[in-house]
Each structure stands twice: as structure tokens, then as C-alpha cells.
């Protein structure tokens, strides 16, 4: 298991369009992911199973994981 870091070269939505440079995490093949944001003191865990009963790309195509993380950031920023 390894961790990935925020990288603007991977696209504006990876892992979230509102993520900062301190964010690190892992995105799994089955659609699960975990991202840690030390700056905002939160951990985002998304559990899914996109391979049973058959492999689907819907989670990826709809950008579900990043969109949920965007909502979390928007909520944090609006609460401050």
C-alpha cells in the first residue's frame, strides 16, 4: 500500500478541486479511497464496491469521490 499526494498535474479535481498541498491518501481499484488533510484536520474515507457483481466505471465517470470531497471542503470553508 502506498499513499498519493495532491498533484495539480493530475487534474484540477484530484483528489478534490479544493484540496491543498498537505493532502495525502490512496484511491483503490474497487472505488474506495482515503484522503487525509492535516491542515484542516479531517480524514475522508469513501467505501464502495464497483467490481461486484460486475466491474463498473460509473463512480469514476461521475467523479463521485472528488465531488463528495468538494462538498466537505465547501462545508468547512463556509463554517469558518
Rounded-to-integer distance, Cα 38 and Cα 43, Å: 8
Reference 31, options 12, 9, 11, 47; nearest CA is 47
Instruction: Encode the chain (80 residues) as per-residue pLDDT tens digits.
Output: 578 887 767 666 788 888 888 999 998 888 899 999 999 999 999 999 888 888 888 888 998 999 999 999 999 888 86
DSSP output for 36-56? EETTTTEEEEE---TTSSS--
- Name every residue whose Cβ is closer than 8 Å to that of residue 16 and which is 6 or more positions away in sequence: 23, 35, 66, 69, 70, 72, 73
- The model carries a pTM of 0.80
pLDDT the model gives residue 51: 87
Length of the chain as a residue count:
80
Amino acid at each position: 500500500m502506498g499513499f498519493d499526494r495532491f498533484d495539480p498535474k493530475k487534474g484540477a479535481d484530484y483528489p478534490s478541486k479544493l484540496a491543498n498541498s498537505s493532502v495525502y491518501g490512496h484511491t483503490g481499484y474497487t472505488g474506495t479511497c482515503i484522503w487525509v488533510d492535516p491542515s484542516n484536520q479531517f480524514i475522508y474515507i469513501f467505501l464502495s464496491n464497483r467490481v461486484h457483481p460486475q466491474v463498473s466505471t460509473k463512480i469514476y465517470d461521475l467523479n463521485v469521490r472528488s465531488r463528495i470531497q468538494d462538498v466537505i471542503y465547501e462545508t468547512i470553508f463556509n463554517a469558518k
